[in-house]
Amino acid sequence: MSHDITALRKFVSPEIVFGAGSRRSVANFASNFGARHVLLVSDPGVTAAGWVNEVQTLLTEAGIRVTVFTGVSPNPKVDEVMTGAELYKSSECDVIVAIGGGSPMDCAKGIGIVATHGRSILEFEGVDTITNPPPPLILIPTTAGTSADVSQFAIISDPIRRFKFSIISKAVVPDVSLIDPEVTETMDAYLTACTGVDALVHAIEAFVSTGAGPLTDTHALEAIRLINRNLEPLVSNTADAYLREQIMLASMQAGLAFSNAILGAVHAMSHSLGGYLDLPHGLCNALLLEHVVAYNYTSAEDRFRLVAEAMDIDTRGMGHRDIQKRLMARIIELKKRVGLEARLAQLGVSVTDIPYLSGFALKDPCILTNPRKSSLRDVQVVYEEAL
């Protein structure tokens, strides 16, 4: 009996502190990096929730100067990164701390890149384009979904091209990730649903990716299990601290999986959609998920069987066609129960947008690890089905 030998795989991860109250160690970690002046990156929503003020106070009480930058919109733009980098340099900062969802965290990564290279963030699109190490980076996620706090991705919007581009590099893996479920208590049910389904997509795409392997599979499957069991009750009761912790754990594990196994067509198409129409990333992923699963299914049947089992579907005695039907039904049911039922057309996407969206989706690095190779027409058809 022959066994397939696993191809060489590497696994990158920040130093992670997980658990309620972990944000309070921010000054300790900043001090470990020799911080004298921190640039604290966030956005207006997180500021209004009170978290920016708390982190600023913790740093200031430890004798560290703080300059706050909250000019980050929901899909961080090129000019916001450049403005933040200018502030970092003019304030003579030496460490970056970000608290927020994926947008402030991605913006902080971009600021670090520009601060050490002195060039436009647009020049770093793609894989392994960074030559100078960015400054120390400490991230505190306030949503349970994007996993920017553990990943080697930074996603930035270019409003000129109406396109979200990816920067993928070990250099943007943060030095420290303080994953504190307490800070997700200010998320409403809708944001909880969007980010939770985003994490589910991360886990499923990482598990069926051509870059998957034993170092990522365990994280991906556990994330799918945790989200399948805990997201619906959490959306119904966002005050439940135990459920929040379970979804935060799932988001972290999904992030460790996709950061190392990369993603697939859902993300390639979602980045294109989000850049074009400035829509929430988690929502774009949710609307495309079952359509991409249907497209990919025959190219990764054994893997999708394990995804179905992680979603508590008893596959014993079932053929692949039945498993596919049950898996799609469960994904659609989960989305419906957490209130993510919209179609692309309801968000303002029309048939005439599809050629433009498809062209950009095919240029996204995430498409390269999709289990089934995709032509321009393939991508167009999936968008059409999601309308």
- Return the sign of the alpha-carbon dihedral for residues 67, 71, 77, 79: negative
Q: Are 113 and 212 in a shared domain?
A: no
pLDDT in tens, 302-311: 999 999 999 9
Q: Token pair for residue 374?
A: 């995709």
| Structure tokens, 17 | 């502190």
Query: Where does a domain end: 133, 153, 184?
Result: 184
- Which residues form the domain of 196? 188-386
What's the token pair of residue 1?
């009996």
Among 150, 184, 218, residue at a domain's last position: 184
3-class SS of residue 138: strand
Grade residue 124 by pLDDT with cuts at 50, 70 and 90.
very high
Given a cut of 80, whether residue 6 has pLDDT beyond it is: no
Record the tokens describing residue 51, joined without a space: 């978290």
Determine the Cα–Cα distance for residues 220 and 217; give it in Å rounded to an integer: 5
The distance of Cα 148 from the centroid of its chain, to the nearest Å, equals: 5
pLDDT surpassing 60 at residue 197: yes
Domain count, the chain: 2
Region 132-152 average pLDDT? 95
In a domain, 9, yes or no: no
The 10s digit of each residue's pLDDT in 327-385 is 999 999 999 999 998 899 998 999 999 999 999 999 999 999 999 999 999 999 999 99
Query: What is the arithmetic mean of pLDDT over 6-11?
Result: 84
| Co-location of 165 and 295 in the same domain | no
- pLDDT, residue 3, reads 65
pLDDT band at 176 (very low <50, low <70, confident <90, very high): very high
Q: How do residues 240-286 score in pLDDT, each as one tens digit?
A: 999 999 999 999 999 999 999 999 999 999 999 988 888 888 899 99
Same domain as 141, residue 127: yes
User: pLDDT band at 223, cuts 50/70/90?
Assistant: very high
Residues 145, 172: one domain? Answer: yes
Q: What is the secondary structure of 159-199 as a DSSP string?
A: TTTTEEEEEE-GGGS-SEEEE-GGGGGG--HHHHHHHHHHH
Strands of 126-127's sheet, edge to edge?
126-127, 163-168, 153-158
User: Per residue in 43-90, pLDDT tens?
Assistant: 999 999 999 999 999 999 999 999 999 999 999 999 999 999 999 999
Average pLDDT, the chain: 95
Judge if 194 and 180 occupy the same domain: no
Q: Are residues 161 and 255 both part of a single domain?
A: no
Whether residue 146 has pLDDT greater than 90:
no
Does residue 143 sit in the same domain as residue 209?
Answer: no
Domain boundary (184, 199, 234) is at 184
Q: Does 92 map to a domain?
A: yes
pLDDT for res 1: 54
User: What does each C-alpha distance from 93 to 136, 208, 226 come to in angstroms?
Assistant: 11, 41, 39
Angle among Cα 385, 298, 259 to the nearest 5 degrees reads 80
Tell me if 87 is assigned to some domain: yes
Q: Looking at the structure, do residues 25 and 154 belong to the same domain, yes or no?
A: yes
Residues 77 and 218 in one domain: no
